[in-house]
């Protein structure tokens, strides 16, 4: 990077992240890039000379939240000892890519807008704004510098996001992602394997592979998907835990399903978005699978990995959804028995095909259906957790509970949230990023709670009870 950017010394910044894991990964690159140039990360808006918003535009609520937070900054004074004469506000991510200069028109006090392919341009954009006090926007569709090439400051030293693809080729009719993230592009397998190995050697305990559709990895490079080979390569790094997101059902192969049975460090948890339980609605969504095929995948997964924790996404109120369509979705959720379901009321995204479909269904009808679905979702999550009562689970400790600092919080192999009292004489710093065994005393809808019976350990401990 250019040494002309050294004037970031003495400047403070903070990053606010909305949306998916890919945005979280990009935010870590923003942290790493600005810190490498001398800037200092701080926790609050009041302390910040630069505020960066990494945005998501999948749902309308994200737009509303962004506008509200950016507009509120007008009333927050710059810190007295700031080397700048004006706070710099930057918006990046998917909303930045989608709206570009339109954001400046709506929010004149916004200084910098950068797109999903412009992370490396952020320092230069900020520097130009510092110099000429003008707005600067960069939303190119492709960049010569990939986000993975930038410095990174990870949120946790023991966990790492590892992107294997960027972009998406699926063009689901409700989704804006292909338009703001671009077409699918895979990273070379050798590059992924080397990065995983480096993380494992550096003490990373959990790697999460990222992509809009990890299952189609490699189709653009090798002519066919090779995600199963990615899992093999990352497993060979020796990292304790491997997870991935997100999977598209139409591309989930038998080879990938088999890896849940043959790779010990691949965690028994899978997010497999169904979106709807109606074949008619799935076709209108351009999802390119049927409910029958989806259920066949569920059966194969449970054969390969009994007890696997399945999660999904469901959209309620897609244009034209009838009561019969909704009931089929309700029945699917009840039949599968998910450990977790992320439920959403359909949000119209301008520029997508679904946004052009008129739907006379009253909002109160859609809301009533949504509420019915939430009830069965909560029951399913509760039922999934019950067999863990009185069992011992291995937990990777993330830190102290935000609600009660006397409790640690971590994740089981099935990705359940687990709470336990911090043992007397120990602090959370002794436990964070390490493994403990927790005897589960309470199995609730959204978490497990128990007491430590062993640990901490530097590596995951196989539990004979589960």
CA neighbor of 241 nearest in space, from 52, 451, 411: 411
3-state helix, strand, coil in the chain (%, to 5): 40, 20, 40
Q: Is the pLDDT of residue 1 over 50?
A: no
Helix (H, G, I), strand (E, B) or coil at 279: helix
What domains appear along the chain, each with residue ranges and CATH number? 3-138 (3.40.50.280), 154-386 (3.80.30.20), 389-457 (2.40.50.140)
Q: How far is CA 4 from CA 328, 436, 457, in A?
A: 60, 47, 45
Q: Is the pLDDT of residue 429 over 90?
A: yes
> What are the pLDDT digits (tens) for 224-237?
999 999 999 999 99
Q: Would you give the end-to-end CA distance of the chain in angstroms? A: 50
Q: Residue 150 has what pLDDT?
A: 73
Q: Which two tokens stand for residue 54?
A: 């990494």
Higher pLDDT pick, 140 / 21: 21
Q: Is the pLDDT of residue 466 over 90?
A: no
Q: Residue 5 has what pLDDT?
A: 44
Q: Residue 147 has what pLDDT?
A: 62
What is the Cα 324 distance to its own chain's centre? 32
Average pLDDT estimate for 19-34: 87
Split at pLDDT 50, 70, 90, the class of 306 is: very high
Burial class (CB in 10 A: 0-12, 13-18, 19+), 424: exposed
Residues 6+ apart with CB under 8 A from 399: 408, 409, 428, 432
Split at pLDDT 50, 70, 90, the class of 464 is: very low
Q: Residue 260 has what pLDDT?
A: 98
Q: What is the mean pLDDT of the chain?
A: 92
Q: Residue 141 has what pLDDT?
A: 65
- Strand 448-457 versus strand 435-443 pairing type: antiparallel
> What are the pLDDT digits (tens) for 240-293?
999 999 999 999 999 999 999 999 999 999 999 999 999 999 999 999 999 999
**Percent with pLDDT over 90 in the chain:** 74
> What are the pLDDT digits (tens) for 194-222?
999 999 999 999 999 999 999 999 999 99
Average pLDDT estimate for 423-437: 95
Q: Residue 118 has what pLDDT?
A: 86
**Percent with pLDDT over 70 in the chain:** 96
Q: Show the DSSP H helices in 206-362 as ranges.
A: 219-222, 227-235, 254-262, 279-284, 291-304, 323-336
């Amino acid at each position: 990077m250019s040494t002309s950017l050294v004037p970031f010394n003495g400047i403070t910044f903070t990053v606010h992240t909305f949306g998916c894991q890919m945005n979280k990964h990009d935010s870590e690159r923003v942290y790493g890039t600005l810190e490498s140039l001398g800037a200092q990360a701080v926790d609050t808006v009041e302390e910040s000379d630069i505020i960066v918003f990494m945005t998501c535009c999948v749902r309308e609520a994200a737009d509303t939240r962004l506008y509200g937070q950016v507009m509120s900054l007008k009333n927050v004074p710059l810190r007295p000892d700031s080397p700048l004469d004006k706070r710099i506000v930057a918006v990046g991510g998917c909303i930045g890519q989608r709206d570009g200069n339109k954001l400046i028109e709506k929010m004149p006090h916004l200084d910098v807008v950068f797109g999903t392919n412009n992370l490396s341009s952020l320092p230069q954009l900020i520097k130009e704004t510092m110099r000429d006090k003008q707005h600067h926007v960069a939303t190119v569709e492709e960049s010569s510098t990939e986000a993975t090439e930038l410095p990174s400051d990870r949120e946790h030293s023991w966990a790492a996001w590892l992107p294997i693809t960027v972009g998406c080729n699926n063009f689901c009719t409700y989704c804006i992602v292909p338009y703001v993230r671009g077409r699918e592009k895979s990273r070379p397998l050798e590059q992924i394997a080397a990065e995983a190995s480096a993380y494992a050697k550096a003490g990373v305990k959990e790697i999460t592979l990222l992509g809009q559709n990890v299952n189609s990895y490699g189709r653009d490079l090798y002519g066919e998907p090779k995600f199963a080979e990615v899992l093999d390569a990352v497993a060979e790094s020796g990292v304790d835990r491997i997870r991935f997101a997100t999977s598209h059902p139409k591309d989930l192969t038998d080879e990938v399903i088999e890896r849940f049975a043959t790779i010990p460090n691949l965690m028994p948890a899978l997010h497999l978005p169904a979106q709807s339980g109606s074949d008619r609605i799935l076709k209108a969504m351009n999802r390119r699978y049927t409910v029958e095929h989806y259920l066949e995948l569920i059966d194969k997964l449970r054969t390969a990995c009994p007890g696997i924790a399945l999660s999904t996404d469901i959209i309620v109120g897609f244009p034209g959804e009838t009561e019969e369509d909704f009931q089929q979705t309700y029945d699917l959720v009840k039949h599968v028995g998910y450990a977790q379901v992320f439920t959403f009321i359909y949000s119209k995204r301008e520029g997508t095909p679904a946004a052009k479909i008129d739907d006379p269904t009253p909002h109160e009808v859609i809301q009533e259906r949504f509420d019915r679905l939430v009830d069965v979702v909560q029951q399913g999550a509760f039922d999934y957790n019950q067999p863990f009562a009185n069992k011992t689970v291995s937990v990777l400790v993330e830190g102290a509970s935000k609600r009660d600092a006397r409790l640690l919080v971590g994740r089981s192999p099935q990705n359940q949230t687990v709470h336990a009292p911090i043992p007397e004489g120990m602090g959370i710093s002794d436990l964070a990023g390490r493994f403990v065994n927790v005897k589960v005393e309470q199995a609730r809808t959204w978490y497990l709670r128990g007491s430590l019976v062993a640990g901490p350990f530097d590596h995951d401990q196989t539990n004979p009870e589960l």
